[in-house]
Amino acid sequence: MNVSSTPLPMLMVDPTYDWAWPLPRVACEPLPTTRDAAEPCRIESASGVGVTGEMVGFDADARQLRFRVQRGMDAVTLSFDKVRRVTLTRALVLARRAADAPAERLPPEAQLRTVVINFRHGGCAIGSSHGRIEHEAGYFLYAPDDDGLSLLRQFVPREAVESIEFGESAEERVADRWVRTPEQLLAAIEAQRRAPMMPLGEALADLGLVAPEVIQAAVQQAGADADLPLGERLIARGVIDRAELTTALAHKMGYPLVDVGRFPIDAQVATYMSPRAMREHRALPLMRHGKRLIVAVDDLLTIGSLTSLRAFAGMDLVPVLAPPGRLTVALAAREHDADLWAANVPTRAAPVG
């Protein structure tokens, strides 16, 4: 996920804590504030020489930090062009789930991605990070610790970087298979007639609703629900809800999956429904092809109610799927972009041709 526009959070813990470090996007247990806000750390110089000590100040906007070798010694100010990487050595422990909590549908590993850094003054670092936060001054990374249960917070200044490459997370690799263009969508609709039925677990993973390892665990684990079909078992365990199972079953049957956040929606077709009607029916018109109107939904039962709308008179409605969460975001965006009176305008008849 590209978060280059994300502002650097300012997390003021108490009046003496005058610098802040952004938190990762995975749930972690809170760390207690250290005395005088010092953070144990390891700093690598531009040439790669490392030294341990404490960081007592960090100013991303001024591109400098304050560092001391040990408590009681004077702190020195280091500009970012003298540093190639900072690692805070107090690990953030990944939040533990209660024993009776439902399985996580997308565990932290789903956001793990590879990171390859080529440093400007020589050397290379290859690792991984649970997401990232980009700032004008550099990159905040969250490297898994050796125990697999915690993270180490790192910062790499832009001045130190010759090039940096981020691999895709498991979630992003799934999204790359979703339809994004009209040409792809028409081809997918045509291929639907011949597509073999896929396993439900694969459909859930394609939708990005559940990580493959969670599905595999549900298949293999015994329990009171062991005799239930996979979908019902995941519902019983609180991993998915009934609406998400319905969407997955439709995708299992071959209905195309559309990335509604990136698909170029036909502006004229989008006016066939008011934002209020889109929200009420959970339907997003995408494009028209001859007399066929292609509509993204997350529940195939929606199509029955849409056929009664006079806006769609004379057209054949062709349903395609959007992941429920993505559809919710897209519908909210359409409502936000509409003028303030759009919801009060009756749905008009669309031209037929």
Kindly report the number of other CB atoms within 10 A of residue 223's CB atom: 11
If you count DSSP H runs as helices and E runs as strands, how many of each does the chain have, helices first?
A: 10, 14
**Is the pLDDT score of 345 beyond 80?**
no
Q: Average of pLDDT values for 208-232?
A: 81
Express each pLDDT in 185-202 by its tens digit: 999 999 888 878 889 998
Q: How far apart are the first and last CA of the chain?
A: 41
Q: Residue 253: name the closest of 197, 299, 294, 305 by CA.
A: 197
pLDDT bucket at 100, cuts 50 / 70 / 90? low
251: three-class secondary structure by DSSP = helix
Please give the pLDDT value at position 107. Answer: 61
The pair of structure tokens assigned to 201 is: 């677990």
- The amino acid sitting at 29 is E
Tokens of 21: 């470090």
Question: Which residues lie closer than 8 Å to 194 by C-beta, 6 or more apart?
Answer: none
Q: For residue 17, give the 3-state DSSP assignment.
A: coil
What pLDDT score does 123 carry?
92
Q: Is 234 helix (H, G, I), strand (E, B) or coil?
A: helix
Taking residue 213's Cβ as centre, other Cβ atoms within 10 Å add up to 14
The Cα–Cα gap between 81 and 116 comes to 20
> Out of 3.40.50.2020, 3.10.620.30, 3.30.2350.10, 3.30.300.160, which CATH number does the structure's domain 177-195+256-353 have?
3.30.300.160
Q: Locate the DSSP E strands across 24-63.
A: 39-45, 50-59
Task: Give the full edge-to-edge strand order of the sheet including 150-157.
Answer: 76-79, 64-68, 50-59, 39-45, 83-93, 150-157, 138-144, 132-135
* Arithmetic mean of pLDDT, 243-272: 88
Structural tokens at position 160: 């130190």
In the numeric block, the tokens 């045509």 are attached to 190
Contacts of 171 (CB under 8 A, 6+ apart): 106, 110, 111, 208
pLDDT exceeds 90 at position 294? yes
Confidence of residue 270 (pLDDT cuts 50, 70, 90): confident
Share of the chain above pLDDT 90, in %: 34
Residue ranges of domains in the chain: 35-171, 177-195+256-353, 196-252
pLDDT at 338: 58
The phi and psi torsions of 305 (rounded to 5 degrees) equal: -75, -30
pLDDT band at 250 (very low <50, low <70, confident <90, very high): confident
Alpha helix (H) residue ranges in 176-264: 182-192, 200-206, 212-220, 230-236, 242-252
Element of type H or E holding 133: strand 132-135
Q: Give the confidence band of 106 by pLDDT, cuts at 50, 70, 90.
A: low
Residue keyed to tokens 């004229």? 268
Q: From CA 342, how far away is CA 184, in angstroms rounded?
A: 31
Q: What confidence tier does 5 reach under pLDDT thresholds 50, 70, 90?
A: very low
pLDDT band at 16 (very low <50, low <70, confident <90, very high): very low
